[in-house]
Amino acid sequence: MAFILRHIARYAAKKIASNPQAREAAAKAARVVVDEAKLIAREKDKARAAGRAVRRALNKLKGDR
C-alpha cells in the first residue's frame, strides 16, 4: 500500500513541477493547509479543531461555503 501511495505522490509531484499553473495551485493549497494547521495548533481541543477543519474542507469541495 505504501508503495502505491509513494508512486502516486511522485507522479503528482512530477506533474506539478512541469506545469506552472499546477505549481501555483499547489502552492496556494499548501498555504491553506498551513493556515488550517496553525488554527488546529492554537486550539485547546485539537481533535475538535481538526474535525472542524475537515468539515470546512468537505463543505468547500461540495461548493457550500
Residue-wise pLDDT tens digits, 22-64: 889 889 988 988 999 999 999 999 999 999 999 988 898 888 6
Q: Would you state the pLDDT for residue 63?
A: 84
Q: 46-56: per-residue pLDDT in tens?
A: 999 999 999 98
Residues 10 and 4: their CA atoms lie apart, in Å, by 10
pTM for this entry: 0.61
Q: Would you state the pLDDT for residue 37?
A: 92
DSSP H stretches of helix in 1-65: 2-18, 20-42, 46-62
